[in-house]
Amino acid sequence: MKRIGIMTTGGDCSGLNTVIQRITRGATLRKWIVYGILDGTDGLCVTPPAVVKLNDLMLPIENARLAGSFLHNGHANALNFETAIERGKTAAFNKQLYKSLSELKLDALILVGGNGSISLAWANREIYRDLQLICIPKTIDMDIPLTDKTIGFDTAVQQLTSYCDQLMLTARSHHRWFVVQSMGRDCGNLALNAGVAVGASAILIPEIKFDVNALVEHIKNQPTDYGIIIVSEGISLRGHSGKPADMISRKLTAAGIMNRTAFPEHTQRAGDTTATDRILATRFADCALGAIENGETNVMTVLSDGDVHTVSLTEFVNAGEIVHDPKIPDLMTSNAYVSPDNPLLDVAYDMGIYIGEQK
């Protein structure tokens, strides 16, 4: 009888509870024992390790659609890979993780995380050397290479689109523009997809250079005196500081364009999980359980051209753009960004949306 563990790490998103429930269900049908590790790596830094034994009644199917993580994603000030470096306790932290995993006597660990968490898992794979490590990608940023979708992205797009839909109504009533700042870090996928969905008049993303004066003229020449301008949190404006939405808003105000800023913030990580994300979570869970049966380790589940399968973590690292993690100086993360040939860029341009100076 196999003993497997599952933990969620990094930022939360919708779909985490779905994948936890599906992993538990699939493992139970295989007569495996499933342990949920609480608070990510935090749960492995206490003695005994903070775990719960999962079963079909622990997380009912009707609650699997809810946002957040039933297992939690960690405390802000707890010891983790980031704080361990800050406090000079990296060696002790790594030793504790290995010790806790050994005490749990796991045959496999399913780690549900973003590109930072998965990059950390690969960089510190010695910690997991005595068990099978299977990673499942989740993030609202959609910045993980090799997979066409990540758990949580579709729901985040829906959340941001719905938020903008409501703003559009008050924008029309008061003849004003709303500059909406999306999440996404240095990747513009969330802003681009929601912007096309809502019919934004402009979408500014980190991957494409833009001219703020051209943006102003574009807004002045719109057929309406109201609408949505979506800016990704990762954009910058030379000579200006502050939140991206505020920077753009000041430029519009200086040009005599009535506007307000709006920050949906963590509502983008919330919301009932969409059907698309639930299906993806189920497919990833099934793939991860199959990988355990097949004896695989150090792999990640991916969706590619409609097919779900695993790739090695080495492939994951080599396929992305390698950059320094801003919070962990010694860590290189593998990142994916909006590609110049992303078809949505052409769609946005053809629909008269200002997307920068790529054309």
Residues marked active site are found at 141
The C-alpha atoms of residue 322 and residue 334 are separated, in whole angstroms, by 5
The C-alpha atoms of residue 339 and residue 62 are separated, in whole angstroms, by 37
Question: E strands, the chain, where?
Answer: 3-8, 33-37, 51-54, 108-113, 132-137, 177-182, 202-204, 227-232, 259-262, 299-304, 307-312, 321-324, 332-335
> CB within 8 A of 275, min separation 6: which ones?
none
Are 75 and 42 in contact by the 8 Å Cβ rule? The answer is yes
> CB within 8 A of 249, min separation 6: which ones?
179, 259, 260, 261
Tokens of 127: 């910690």
Cross-strand partners of 135: 111, 300
Q: Report, in angstroms and rounded to the nearest whole number, the Rg of the chain calculated over CA atoms.
A: 22
Are 49 and 103 in contact by the 8 Å Cβ rule? The answer is yes
Residue 189's identity, in one-letter code, is: N
Residue 83: helix, strand or coil by DSSP?
A: helix
> CB within 8 A of 30, min separation 6: which ones?
2, 289, 293
